[in-house]
Structure 1
Amino acid sequence: MVERQLAARGVDDDAILSAFRKVPREEFVPEDLREFAYDDAPLPIGEGQTISQPFIVACMIDAAEIASGHRVLEVGAGSGYAAAVMSCIAGEVHAVERHEKLAREAASRIGRLGYDNCTIIAGDGMAGLPAEAPFDAILVAARIGQVPDALKHQLKVGGRLIVPVGGDDIQQLRCITRIAQDGWESHDITPVRFVPLLEGVVPEDGARASSDHRPARDMSTPELIAANCTPLPDIDDPQFAAAFDKFADKRIVMLGECSHGTHDFYAARAAITRHLVDNHGFNIVAVEGDWPDAAAYNKFIRGEELRQDQESPFQRFPGWMWRNTVMPGILRALREINAGRDEDAMVGFYGLDIYNMASSIEAVLAYLDEHDPDSAVVARERYGCLTPWQADPATYGRVSLSKGYAECEEDVVKQCNEMLRRSLADNSGAFSAAMNARLVASAEKYYRVMYYGGSESWNLRDSHMADTLGHLLENRGENAKAVVWAHNSHIGDARATDMGAVRGEHNIGQLARERWGDDVALIGFGTHGGTVSAANDWDGERETMRVNPSRRDSYERLCHDSGVERFLLDLTGEGELSRRLLAPQLERFIGVIYRPQTERWSHYSDAALPRQFDAYCWFDETRALEPLGKGEPHQGVAETFPFGV
């Protein structure tokens, strides 16, 4: 922690680094969170409070310029961790905590660990501690809109007050220096997020349970989320993916995302997928991407020979969805896993979607050219009515509204049925060709019905994805287990959102629950703010956009206000939290298009989170997904295909 989180970020004061090495952080967190004690994140400590991120504590101590012999006041002692660290540097530390229970526990902990120059008391931090003033440094561990004069006046001349100042979303960590008896100057240090500083003392009333500290009815919803969630370490920590072991007994685990352009969601799904494949027998990775493009990735991870003239997959808009800086790592990891397995036990990578009609037609014809040239001639005739529109199938959809295209649909469906029958009798590549034939049939209908509007085109698409998943499970046999990557709008049960309740739409999550029941786990992903890769219009240029902070009337704001940076929340339980979350709230959905200026109407919809998902994975601040450069060379380079990096 000291080397990676503090020294590596520029904290170079030997006294501070030494103090952090001395104080055992695991002693200051709840017993069930000790394994996360040294993560780069705040952790809940009860009463809706958190122990701050280690780096932020170090920043505050560094900014306060605490030295040997100094007298220090901390407002918001919490668990007592920061006070303990400061006591290893300063001469005397006084810490005030408004929650009597936390103050009592912190004082007991400080005494047991032997920090004799540190005193923790229950009190109102807004008033400071006038009986012990003046102080060389005052540190406030909670956000505040207006700095109390009482704290400024309790500084010595030359003393420093370090305090987060600002509103609910982001505050500025501010340093206020007393330069004269009636003079102060200030400067901002860095943006931060803290829980609010509140007035008054919270007494111990004897009504708090040992697990929740208070009756659930007396806790706010964000406090209940903090008390019930499982805090998560960094994504690259093995314990991150291990937290999802609770879903390892499912046959299908669906991993969502609330945007198509967020690095953290892709990196998290990659870590979880690798863990489930490597440790729990999952052998299907199915994504919201097209079958023919995903087939190239599937060949790569299975170590199969690739055509020298193979086109780079996933070239159409939005290319960053499946050609990004996360994908090479997970594909190489799956390839390494497959290298040690028999062919029947290998994990496969498959596309569920229906957009790439042209490549699917090419794949069907290529298969028939090799295995049944006579049938290939017939197939070319049947697909003839689609040929002019392969490059722009949406144009076909518009033209097909005119008379005379029913025969084309009949021919396409007939070809699909023949390929499906062929796949039942011959599994040497016929299965993939049949899936491509299904895609052509579904896409032909999709591009027609989309011009009528309404729910039919959406329902057709998600029905196709659900059916493709069913075919994959059937093809891989009774031991097949699938991880699915798709947007929250596809995997969250549509019946729990406006999609189903108002617009009459269903999705793959709903259809999977209806078909496989308790063998399915639906896990949504969400964020409060940060950046995202998106475009302003379909087929537009990708931009790195700033995500608006979540709305106050949204599920995202409830999660943000919990104060926990990353967590996994089980939504299958009963109790006060479940009851409150069942009340419909706004939920944000960002696809490949993001329009911040119209966000309320274009990106929020009502939902009932516990009915929509089985669990919810939260990242408070996220960053944009980075695309790979265009045209990476890969022809003939099996070790680097399909990315050339």
Structure 2
Amino acid sequence: MLVHRLDGGPGDFDPLLRRIGAARVVMLGEASHGTYDYYRLREQLTRRLVTELGFSFVAVEGDWPDCDRVHRSVTATAGADPEPRVALESFRRWPTWMWANAEVARFCRWLRAWNVDRPEPERVGFHGLDVYSLWESLEAIFGYLGTEHPDELAAAREAYRCFEPYGRRVEEYASASRFVSARCEEEVIRLLTRIRAGVGRDGPSAFAAWQNAEVVAQGERYYRAMVGGGPQSWNVRDTHMADTLDRLLDHYGPAAKAVVWAHNTHVGDARATDMADAGMVNIGQLARERRGADDVVLVGFGSHHGTVIAAPRWGAPAEVMTVPPARPGSLEHRLHELLPERAMLVFDPTVPTAPPAPGEPAVPAEPGGPGVGVPDWLAGPVDHRAVGVVYDPSFEEWGNYVPTRTADRYDAFVWCDRTSALHPLAAKSVTGELETYPAGM
């Protein structure tokens, strides 16, 4: 295990880049969806992955249609808005601040500047992995087919008619599907099959239409599972995100490399947490299983105290909240005692823990520990904080923590002792969905 101080210099992430090496997938987490420091450090690391290691696209825990507008802007597609901030401000699904914020806007402006001097096939994309945008994806399919394949509009109309009695209230459709014959599964599968066969997958517009059809199909499954309760909707969602990541890697070509931005609960391997006991999987686990541990690097983030953008209840306006000091015995409390303000742990179980370099912090091993790579308190289970978009700081004593074997869940961990809230843009939330499971992750 390597412990490295982050001092804001150009070599901050050098040890992590060496660990990443030739890996094709790097997933960068966050302990909340509303912390400036996580977004800023993730941006800095992603810039280096793009410029030094040739990564091909950024895939985020966001809706495909919304992120496709951002993608078109950052890749300077004809007809797209030249200012990515405009595309971000058009996000309407609550919680808009996850991606419609000044930190993402700054990264996207940089990404556009990086792309415009490069040939189109070499431009770095920005894509959404999530499953929520059932109606928006249907509308995008209509737009594409109406222009490019009007003969295929009939299949899209059949899927639309199935959902039409429920308007945009997908929760009403999902609830009805439990008691009456309201399932649209057959219609959306037919739509997906027709698009796969009749439209093809070559070219960015055709690929986007195919992906939107996948969102409609999996979104229908997700909303039906959501009203049933339990972890199944979570698994539908994360499996869809993992499948979308695989499709993107295939679309970009055999040498493609992906950066994923998502919450720690999605990025960190679920098998190293109590999520596994509940029968839940996530994209970090699925990527390791599908591609092998050598081709996937999972990076978690955490902090001891600070402020965050979150909401007191689902659908409520965002506000700045205080994140209290981590509770005693937690991972965050231990790292607060041992590490400086900013630091990074890089786990490699094949390398014995080395003495710290001059000026580097030491993370002591404990008697009876595994003796190779990491101390036992990082190898064994410890509570690890997870803040959702719905947050109640007073609940810290009982909840907001996930039992975690840190060195198994992540390949590296970025530490920020004190953090501050991010800066939302002026996007207006007009749509939402049933609360995610677990809440707001």
Residue 621 of structure 1 corresponds to 418
In the alignment, what sits opposite 1:532?
308
Give the Å deviation of 1:423: 5.3
| Equivalent residue number for residue 544 of structure 1 | 320
> Judging changes above 3 Å, is the alpha-carbon distance between structure 1 residues 519 and 400 closer, same or farther for their aligned structure 2 residues?
same
User: Partner residue of 1:150?
Assistant: none
Aligned mate of 1:383, from 157, 160, 168: 160
Superposed counterparts of 1:363-382, under 5 Å: 363-382=140-159
**1:499–1:392: structure 2 CA closer, same or farther, 3 Å change rule?**
same
Deviations 1:58-80 (CA, angstroms, capped at 9, x unpaired) = xxxxxxxxxxxxxxxxxxxxxxx
1:118-133 matched pairs, under 5 angstroms: none
Residues 271-329 of structure 1: per-residue CA shift (max 9 Å, x gap): 11111111111011000001000001100011123468989532221111001110121
CA distance, structure 1, for counterparts of residue 87 and residue 21 of structure 2: 36
395 and 601 in structure 1: CA distance in 2 versus 1, 3 angstrom threshold: farther
SS at match of 2:303: strand
- Partner amino acid, structure 2, of 1:432: A
Q: Which amino acid aligns with 1:245?
A: L
Structure 1's unaligned 5+ residue stretches are 1-224, 632-645
Q: In the alignment, does 2:389 pair up with 1:592? A: yes
Structure 2 CA distance, aligned partners of 1:325 and 1:298?
17
Which residue identity is paired with 1:263? Answer: Y
* Structure ID, larger Rg: 1
The residue type paired with residue 177 of structure 2 is S
Q: Which protein is richer in strand relative to its size? A: 1
Q: In structure 1, give the amino acid aligned to 2:17.
A: D
Preserved contact between residue 201 and residue 207 of structure 2 (Cα < 8 Å): no
Equivalent residue runs for 1:311-326 within 5 Å: 312-326=89-103
Partner of 1:231: 5
Deviation at 1:558, TM superposition (A): 1.1
The answer as to whether partners of 2:89 and 2:100 remain within 8 angstroms in 1 is no
Please report how far the alpha carbon of residue 377 of structure 1 lies from its aligned counterpart in structure 2 after TM superposition. Answer: 2.8
TM-score by length of 2: 0.87
Query: How far off is 1:420 after superposition?
Result: 2.6
| CA displacement, residues 603-627 of structure 1 (integer Å, 9 cap, x when unaligned) | 1121111110011100000000110
Alignment-derived partner of residue 83 in structure 1? none
Gaps of 5+ in 2: 353-370, 429-441
CA displacement at 1:427 relative to structure 2: 2.8
Aligned residue identity for 2:71: N
Which residue number in structure 1 is paired with residue 64 of structure 2?
291
Paired position in structure 2 for 1:30: none
The 1:422–1:514 alpha-carbon spacing in structure 2 relative to 1, beyond 3 Å, is: farther
Separation in 1, partners of 2:303, 2:196: 42
Q: Is the 8 A contact 1:232 1:567 kept in 2?
A: yes
Aligned match for 1:334, one of 84, 92, 111: 111
Equivalent pair of 2:310/2:318 in contact (CA under 8 Å): yes
Tell me the residue number matched to 2:358: none
Match 2:40 to one of 248, 261, 267: 267
The number of aligned residues is 402
Return the match for 1:523 from 296, 299, 314.
299
Please tell me whether the aligned partners of residues 497 and 607 of structure 1 are also in contact (alpha carbons under 8 angstroms).
yes
Which residue pairs with 2:255 in the alignment?
Answer: 479
Q: Quick check: 1:446–1:460 contact (8 Å CA) kept in 2? A: yes
**Please, which of 12, 18, 27 is the counterpart of residue 240 of structure 1?**
12
What is the TM-score of this pair, normalised by structure 1? 0.60
Out of 555-564 and 237-246, give the one that drifted further: 237-246
Deviations 1:99-129 (A, max 9, x none): xxxxxxxxxxxxxxxxxxxxxxxxxxxxxxx
Offset at residue 341 of structure 1 (A):
1.2
Equivalent residue runs for 1:394-543 within 5 Å: 394-406=171-183, 408-422=184-198, 424=200, 426-427=202-203, 429-500=205-276, 502-517=277-292, 518-543=294-319
Gap change, CA 1:311 and 1:593, over 3 Å in 2: closer
Choose from 55, 60, 78 the match for 1:305: 78
Amino acid of the residue matched to residue 595 of structure 1? D
C-alpha distance in 2 between matches for 1:564 and 1:338? 36
Answer whether contact 1:258 1:488 (CA < 8 A) is retained: yes
1:235-286 CA deviation, whole Å, 9 max, x = no partner? Answer: xx43334453221421000000010100000011111111111111101100
Residues 231 and 279 in structure 2, CA contact (< 8 A), matched pair in contact too? yes
The more displaced of 312-321 and 491-500 is: 312-321
Q: 2:380 aligns with which of 557, 575, 583?
A: 583
Query: Structure 2 counterpart of 1:509, which letter?
Result: G
Q: Per-residue displacement from partner, 1:28-55 (whole Å, max 9, x unpaired)?
A: xxxxxxxxxxxxxxxxxxxxxxxxxxxx
Q: Which amino acid aligns with 1:590?
A: V
Matches within 5 A, 1:32-47: none
| Residue pairs, 1:606-645, within 5 angstroms | 606-630=403-427
Q: How does 1:84-233 map to 2 (within 5 A)?
A: 228-233=2-7
- Matches of 2:135 and 2:89 in 1, distance apart? 14
Taking only the aligned residue pairs, the percentage that are identical comes to: 43
Q: CA deviation at 1:424?
A: 4.0
The change in CA–CA distance for 1:475 and 1:579 in structure 2 (over 3 A counts) is: same
The match for 1:642 is: none
SS of residue in 2 equivalent to 1:457: helix
**TM-aligned CA deviation for residue 461 of structure 1:** 0.2
1:531–1:622 contact (8 Å) kept in structure 2:
yes
Q: Which has the higher contact order (CA 8 A, sep 6+)?
A: 2
Q: CA deviation at 1:418?
A: 2.2
Q: Counterparts of 1:289 and 1:229 in 2: how far apart (Å)? A: 32
Letter in 2 for 1:520: V
Partners in 2 of 1:248 and 1:233 — Cα distance?
Answer: 22
| Corresponding residue SS for 1:240 | coil
Which of 345, 349, 352 lines up with 2:126 in the alignment?
A: 349
> Contact (CA 8 Å) 1:420, 1:431: kept in 2 or not?
no
